[in-house]
Structure 1
Amino acid sequence: MAKVPAIKRRKLTPPTSEGEDSSPSTLDHVPEPNAFFTQAARWNLEQEYETRPRKGKKKEKESSRLPIKTADGLLQQAPVEVAGVTEVEGSDLDWSGVEETEGEVEEKPTPKPKIPARQQILEAKEELARIAGILNEDPEENAGAFKVLANIGQSENTTVKKLALAAQLAIFKDVIPGYRIRPLSEEGMGTKVSREVRKLRAYEQSLVGSYQAYIRELSNLASSKTSKDGPSLASVAIACACGLLKAVPHFNFRGELLKILAAKLSTRKVDDDFVKCRETIETVFRDDEDGTPSLDAVSLLTKMMKSRSYRVDESVLNTFLHLRLLSEFSWKASQNHIDRPERDEFRGKKPKEQRVFRTKKERKTMKERKIIEKEMVQADASVSHEERDRMQSETLKLVFVTYFRILKMRSPNLMGAVLEGLARYAHLINQDFFGDLLEALKDLIGHAETGDDLAEEEEEEEDAETTRNLTREALLCIITAFALLEGQDVAKAKASLSLDLGFFITHLYRTLHALSLNPDIELSSKSLHLRDPNDPSEPALTTKNKINVQTTTVLLLRSLSSVLVPQLAARAVPPLRIAAFAKQLMGSSLHMPEKSCVAIIGLLGKVTKTHEKKIAGLWNTEERRGDGTFDPVCAEIEGSNPFAATVWEGELLRKHFCPGVRDGVKVMEKNIIGLR
């Protein structure tokens, strides 16, 4: 039986209640419309629709992404994403015809939250450690990390900047190769190379560029002012430059690093950074094997000192005493000339008596061995001896030029360092330079005798520590003159070089009495003592001696040893000179302190053992050779008449309170009595 549709029923109006009007509503009973409907009645919707600008359909952007596979296994094209913003079809303001303005759409930039300084330092440490690990693991694949390190070093936080400088130092010391990277020329850039070579070139250029930027940053920071809180950026930059120069002196931009150190050494203020730069230069001089870094450093230091008119600390000049050429170089040089020894190269067949008989097989083997040795020498990466000698000879000429200029200028605070340096370099000085040096030394001693200490120059000098000790300078001149003489080959130069050091010997003889009365004869630069209240001319602090670190007694003993006990057998000391010095020293030892007296008596013991026959008459009154009287204050040795006197001071020295003095007197008398 078919289903019958339900009957549609009409909705009936509910019956009206009493008191209500069931008639249809009229306008009189309709309530007033609100403001919205009143305003809407005046709208001209058709006109507004006509004047509204039309918007065409936006072109759908084609997706360049590959299709994706859904979870159901269907391939579907990936939707277009524009900067992570989902495109909305419509806007809430479209219906009202009001267009969105840029000012309403743009969002206001949110201020970045301020990170505490402690948090910045921790984050910087972690980032630097991560980058350092990446670079140490594979620097060629992560060459861009050098720029990241440089960006971290530009932080406004001083501590972060210091950490970045130190991290870059450690990384560059690890990744820098053992060779110098040459800049690529245009022809080299145009050549076709393999992929590995091209990759290596790109890495090397990135390394050199980053390294150059790092050195520029160090140079800028090294000249900045110091800060009160901890080590300043300048100190950190100088320390990094010193570390690079010690670790990789062979690499590029060595001159820029040396300029940073030379700028610090040009100041007269000796602080921790100054000492660090000086020790770095000394290390470079000691560890230099090929001579090129030493030549660059000496050239830069000499230019710096010349520009400063040699107003530098004497320790800067003493760095020349650490050069390896002092022990390795064998040629003699002057300011502008090097005496290269002539090579005795025999060309042609050897004489018959010098030939060695070898079989045909031995000659063939020797020929093959020479070919192999020649190839090994060419393939060897070490610097040849000829190249090293050439570099060291140029360095030696620069050193001699600096020494001679300072001697001519008589710079107060550098005279001791120059004289000591010339004494050390005496065996390398050429005969042509020898005469000029002796004249300069005589000039210095002449100023010491007349008391002319260049007062006008000292008044212009602001530093109060540059007061000259002329007595010590004179002793150093004597030591240097005899060291120069011992460094010459007298047997070969006897015909061409007139060696007359009588001026220096006479000056030493005249100063013995004054030196014995000097109360500071045993004081060195490290000795602490008070000033003499009765001597207003003495400086307030005499603890720092700018001439030399050795005491006056040591300098006197070195001078006397050169005069009385010469090392050269060709130099014969006349008896009159030995007797005059022996008599004068015995009298001077009575006024000297204990240690100086022991040293002088010990020296006289060597003199009596070497020249006992020449001075035996001084200990025996019956063997007196001279007539007249002895003049201890005579200006000339020949006019003192020493053989007219006896060594009566020995009787007093026998009863000296020091056992060393008493034993020394017994040794002298034993040497003399042993002749009889």
Structure 2
Amino acid sequence: MTEKGRKRDRPGGSAKGSKGGGDDGKPASKKQQRKAAMAAKTPYFSPKPSSSIVGIDVPLDRLMPQKRIELIAELSESILEDPATALTSSRTDVVPTTSKGNTKDQDTDTNEKQYHKTQSKMNKLFELASLSTNGHDAHAARLALLSLLAIFQDILPSDRIRLPTEAEMNVRVSKDVKKTWDYERKLLQAYQRYLQLLEKTWEDGKFGHRGLSDQTGPPTTLAATSIIALSQLLQTSYLFNFRSNLIQIVVRQANNHSSDDVRLACCHALSVLFTKDVQGEASLEAVRRMAKMVKERHNQQGGRGIHPDVMNTWLSLPLRIHEDEAMAAKIAAQVKKKRAKKSEEAKATQDIENEMKEGEATVDKLELAKNQADTLHAVILTYFRILKVQDGAAEQIDSKVVDSNLLPCALRGLAKFSHLIHLDAVVDLLEVLKKLLENGDRLSTDSCVHCILCALKTLRGPGRDTIPVDMKQYLIPLYGILPRIGIPTNESSLPSTNADDAQSNDEGKVIEEVIQCLDHAFLQRRELSSTRLAGFLKRLAGSSLHCMPTSSVPLLACTRQIASRYSSSSSSKIERMLENEEDIVAEGVFSPDAEDPEHSNSHATSLWELSLLKYHVHPKVAEQSSNMAEGKLLKLPGEAPSKLCAQMKRDAREGHIEQKPMWKKHPLDTTASSRKKSRRRQNQVRFITPRRTANWHLQTN
């Protein structure tokens, strides 16, 4: 009974067959048992073999364009599923056939097998990305380049790969280690081949098609795609191998004058690199290459200079270490290096520590301080070189505009990093800025404002107590530059139909810096001269008349903020400017053309500009002027000048003008309760308020 029960409980034949045996009842071999065990642990995906991908062995020039695109998609999916297998070529068995085409019996005398070698999937994708091997299909090549970009961004490790040396290769290691070495070597070779392909594609199409004789045309779409792919690799794989090659190409094309898309992509990649680089090594290498390029090309006669976008990327550098702290870190690193040289044990320990740091995610503070110090030195040296060249040009050439497109970039960068430089360099910087402001009529409005802002920020730095500098030599140029804010410059070569756009663009670049200058001059420090203060208030109100609304609103808000801060100390003099001219008793006459605000005698006049701005077409301008005339305070932080400036720019870009709804009562509704309810329902739009008849229609006589 037990034997029958056991047999009945085991479906599939006899007891011997149930142990993994075949149909004939024989016990299964060890090979079959191993296959059954491996089949029980199948992965969640099954990589596609090369033989299953349609068209992998067919020449690419014979495929239709749609078939090439489908092949790119299948290859990309298969490579991402199993990168290790996709990097190696595969072999498939070929069954020999007779001359009649029939298959030979397996019991032939020859035991030799024939193999057909299939190229790897990665190599096939490389052929699809090259115009010379895919039948000159530019669309398919572009899709293949982008697919390879996504693949490498996914499979590349976050640290460098160090290939084993010959001595390490001769050492006997396990199969797993050898397999890892083979995979890393093949991955590095494939990545190098991809970079070479991108560079070759750019060189072939950077001036358009090969048949064109003009060497200054825009690049082809495929060439622009290759540079954008290189910039994306720099953002994500700057810690991997071949970083220097990426930085060299991206820095060189960040100054591209033939394509805005290429230049903006490379500049954005450099900005992201400066922001994400924690250790500072890649940032230092990129800054040194950029500084070398600026030095070589800035003063070339008849050649193209450096685009301002290249210099603006340095504003993304997170420099936080002062030069004195960096010098102490350098001395400590040198002492540690000398100790390591004296003893072999210390040297071996130092080598091991350096190898361990490469694989760790921690930041070496000494190395970070050294890298930031070298980066700051290269940046400040380049900025000073631009200022020196500009100062020399202003002294030699007598013209109305002797301005460089890099001068505002250098001044903006110096204003940001001036608190990190040495005190001696601060003195030299202030001297150069003073000479530039003496020739302010030869500079553009943007350059003058940046020069004043750089000086004011530098004076608020660590050397503000030790450097005896009179603020008057920077406030007088600021007073003279205010009427030039709303006037479009002659530098923008735009047609007359776009005159309003040119004016708004010029004002948008300058107004934020003007607000910062006024903040440093009157809000972060105490102005003791009431005459100078009144002159600035009168000049700001006059400048608001001819400016666009995007500039008038923040200027009026800044004027209100300055007036409210000094109203307690000099209330009589400031409030007197808000009265009628007939009620003002003063000595002398107002001089609007005076260069010094203290000589303008602004107390002899009133802010009559507010009465005109009160009827401005823009509701924000009218609101700010009315509130200032009534002496109301700003509602901070909602009405902060910087916030209003950003809001007005966004509204002008979107074409939005805020309009307040006009609430009108029904002429027959005069009850007090209805007034209270109408106040509660201010957010609801009601055109007609119905009469309140209560329940009179239900009453009966």
State TM-score, norm by structure 1.
0.61
Residues 653 and 661 in structure 1, CA contact (< 8 A), matched pair in contact too: no
Matches within 5 A, 1:517-556: 518-520=486-488, 531=496, 550-556=508-514
CA 1:448–1:217 in 2, change beyond 3 Å: closer, same or farther? same
Choose from 297, 322, 338 the match for 1:332: 322
1:457 aligns to what?
A: none
Q: CA deviation at 1:657?
A: 4.3
Q: CA deviation at 1:313?
A: 1.8
- Which structure dedicates a bigger proportion of its chain to helix? 2
Could you tell me which runs of 5 or more consecutive residues in structure 2 were left unpaired when the two chains were aligned. Answer: 1-57, 90-119, 212-218, 300-304, 332-355, 391-402, 634-701
2:427 aligns to what?
A: 435
CA 1:546–1:248 in 2, change beyond 3 Å: closer, same or farther? farther
CA 1:132–1:599 in 2, change beyond 3 Å: closer, same or farther? closer
Matches within 5 A, 1:395-434: 395-410=375-390, 412-434=404-426
Q: Distance in 2 between matches of 1:596 and 1:127?
A: 53
Q: CA deviation at 1:653?
A: 4.5
Q: Distance in 2 between matches of 1:654 and 1:131?
A: 64
Q: CA deviation at 1:505?
A: 0.7
Are 1:560 and 2:518 an aligned pair?
Answer: yes
1:305 aligns to what?
A: 294
Q: Distance in 1 between matches of 2:506 and 2:417?
A: 16
2:246 aligns to what?
A: 257
Q: Distance in 1 between matches of 2:546 and 2:60?
A: 75
Residues 60 and 68 in structure 2, CA contact (< 8 A), matched pair in contact too: no
Matches within 5 A, 1:190-269: 190-225=170-205, 226-227=208-209, 232-269=221-258
CA 1:642–1:206 in 2, change beyond 3 Å: closer, same or farther? same
Letter in 1 for 2:474: F
Choose from 156, 172, 176 the match for 2:152: 172
CA 1:135–1:655 in 2, change beyond 3 Å: closer, same or farther? closer
Choose from 570, 580, 586 the match for 1:614: 570
Q: CA deviation at 1:318?
A: 1.5
CA 1:475–1:122 in 2, change beyond 3 Å: closer, same or farther? same
Are 1:575 and 2:530 an aligned pair?
Answer: yes
Greater Cα shift, 429-438 or 651-660: 651-660
Residues 60 and 135 in structure 2, CA contact (< 8 A), matched pair in contact too: no
Q: Distance in 1 between matches of 2:458 and 2:612?
A: 36
CA 1:118–1:546 in 2, change beyond 3 Å: closer, same or farther? farther
Q: Distance in 1 between matches of 2:504 and 2:285?
A: 27
CA 1:211–1:510 in 2, change beyond 3 Å: closer, same or farther? closer
Could you tell me which runs of 5 or more consecutive residues in structure 1 were left unpaired when the two chains were aligned. Answer: 1-112, 344-375, 454-469, 533-539
1:91 aligns to what?
A: none
Q: Distance in 1 between matches of 2:198 and 2:357?
A: 40
Choose from 634, 649, 653 the match for 2:608: 649
- SS of residue matched to 1:224: helix
Q: Distance in 2 between matches of 1:604 and 1:579?
A: 11
CA 1:131–1:268 in 2, change beyond 3 Å: closer, same or farther? closer
1:137 aligns to what?
A: 82
Residues 415 and 547 in structure 1, CA contact (< 8 A), matched pair in contact too: no
Letter in 2 for 1:212: Q
Are 1:394 and 2:374 an aligned pair?
Answer: yes
1:603 aligns to what?
A: 558
CA 1:654–1:150 in 2, change beyond 3 Å: closer, same or farther? closer
Letter in 2 for 1:317: M
CA 1:640–1:258 in 2, change beyond 3 Å: closer, same or farther? same
Residues 281 and 319 in structure 1, CA contact (< 8 A), matched pair in contact too: yes
Matches within 5 A, 1:493-532: 493-494=464-465, 496-512=466-482, 514-515=483-484, 518-520=486-488, 531=496
- SS of residue matched to 2:570: helix
CA 1:607–1:405 in 2, change beyond 3 Å: closer, same or farther? same
Q: CA deviation at 1:609?
A: 1.5
Greater Cα shift, 596-605 or 172-181: 596-605
Q: Distance in 2 between matches of 1:381 and 1:255?
A: 21
Choose from 325, 339, 363 the match for 1:383: 363
Are 1:320 and 2:306 an aligned pair?
Answer: no
Residues 247 and 286 in structure 2, CA contact (< 8 A), matched pair in contact too: yes
Residues 608 and 615 in structure 1, CA contact (< 8 A), matched pair in contact too: no
Q: CA deviation at 1:181?
A: 0.9
Residues 308 and 409 in structure 2, CA contact (< 8 A), matched pair in contact too: yes
Residues 333 and 339 in structure 1, CA contact (< 8 A), matched pair in contact too: yes
- SS of residue matched to 1:158: coil
Q: CA deviation at 1:602?
A: 2.7
1:280 aligns to what?
A: 269
Q: CA deviation at 1:275?
A: 2.5
1:623-655 CA deviation, whole Å, 9 max, x = no partner? 999854443322334433444x14262684486
Q: Distance in 2 between matches of 1:405 and 1:283?
A: 26
CA 1:631–1:213 in 2, change beyond 3 Å: closer, same or farther? same
1:496-516 CA deviation, whole Å, 9 max, x = no partner? 32233322211122344x437
Q: Distance in 2 between matches of 1:217 and 1:342?
A: 41
Q: Distance in 1 between matches of 2:359 and 2:250?
A: 35
Q: Distance in 2 between matches of 1:572 and 1:669?
A: 22
Letter in 2 for 1:576: T
Q: CA deviation at 1:295?
A: 2.3
State TM-score, norm by structure 2.
0.59
- SS of residue matched to 2:88: coil
Residues 416 and 548 in structure 1, CA contact (< 8 A), matched pair in contact too: no
Matches within 5 A, 1:426-465: 426-449=418-441, 451=442
Residues 416 and 547 in structure 1, CA contact (< 8 A), matched pair in contact too: no
- SS of residue matched to 2:78: helix
Let me know the Cα RMSD of the aligned residues: 4.4
Q: CA deviation at 1:180?
A: 0.6
Q: CA deviation at 1:216?
A: 1.9
Q: CA deviation at 1:185?
A: 3.6
Q: CA deviation at 1:182?
A: 1.8
2:67 aligns to what?
A: 122
Residues 231 and 265 in structure 2, CA contact (< 8 A), matched pair in contact too: yes
Choose from 126, 133, 136 the match for 1:155: 133
Larger Rg: 1
1:338-395 CA deviation, whole Å, 9 max, x = no partner? 466999xxxxxxxxxxxxxxxxxxxxxxxxxxxxxxxx99995332344334333332
Q: Distance in 1 between matches of 2:504 and 2:550?
A: 23
Q: Distance in 2 between matches of 1:191 and 1:245?
A: 35
- SS of residue matched to 2:476: helix
Residues 262 and 300 in structure 1, CA contact (< 8 A), matched pair in contact too: yes
Q: Distance in 1 between matches of 2:309 and 2:245?
A: 22
Taking only the aligned residue pairs, the percentage that are identical comes to 27
